[in-house]
Amino acid sequence: MKYEELKKRPKDLLAATGLTVDEFEELLAIFTETYETRFAMEQTVDGKARQRRAGGGGKATLRTAKDKLLFILVYEKTYPLQTMLGLQFGLSQGRTNLWIHRLLPVVRQALAQMKLTPEREGYAVANSELAVEGGADLIIDGTERRRQRSQDEIQQQAQYSGKKKTHTDKNLVLVNCHSQKVVYLSATQPGKKHDKKLADEAMIVYPPATTLGKDTGFQGYEPPDVVSWQPKKAQRPGINRRG
């Protein structure tokens, strides 16, 4: 998988990384600068002194900054097994693991520099620029992702999500309706925990005049000085619900 090939298929790039071509290119500039600052050209990927000039010897699989960024974004977006990610990029599982640990801090630092990282503490939302970008119109929701079934019976029960019918990890997210950027991301919790309980424990402080969209999982969650709304399910045509 190479960026120069994938950018010709914008829908596939979006599915693989969550970014459009323009968004990818914008992040790439900061990512490249951050990578070059963190890692000296005189050292190999393993942190050893180079015996040849950079570019000499065998050609690296993740040779360009574009492919490095594509690699780590695919990992973050799809979270595949390292073996499967390696197959997509022509890497062994061991090299895949090395590149993940090398590149994760770089992309996180680049996103922080661009002020795109979500708040991790509920009280910080009140002063977040992401929360008021275009207006303080937010949506709250719980997100779940499958996880390996634990061997511990107590953990099994805590991680089992009746909604998803499988074992999951859960996070609470707050998204700005205008920018579609994630404003707040909670700590990871077991999949069994209810959405409203997650929201109550987060103790989120909202900006003034916030409107908050929520689904039925947050029934009864009414933060002070916030106007909340809940979408209604569209009635299927041809069905008479009276009587």
Which band of pLDDT confidence, cut at 50, 70 and 90, is reported for residue 238? low
Cβ distance 60 to 44 under 8 Å? no
What pLDDT digit, counting tens, does each position of 150-192 carry? Answer: 777 787 777 777 776 788 889 999 999 999 999 999 999 988 8
pTM check: above 0.75: no
Where residue 83 falls among pLDDT bands split at 50, 70, 90?
Answer: very high
How do 160-161 and 166-176 pair as beta strands?
antiparallel
Most confident among 48-62, 97-111, 228-242 (mean pLDDT): 97-111
The bridge status of strand 210-213 relative to strand 226-229 is parallel
Average pLDDT score over residue span 92-117:
94
User: Closest Cα partner for 70 from 114, 125, 132, 27?
Assistant: 27
Q: What pLDDT, in 10s, does the model give residues 43-81?
A: 555 556 656 555 554 567 898 999 999 999 999 998 889
> Mind listing the pLDDT tens digit for each residue in 140-160?
999 888 877 877 778 777 777
Interval 84-92 mean pLDDT: 95
Instruction: Select the more confidently predicted residue: 158 or 230.
Output: 230
**pLDDT confidence of residue 192:** 85
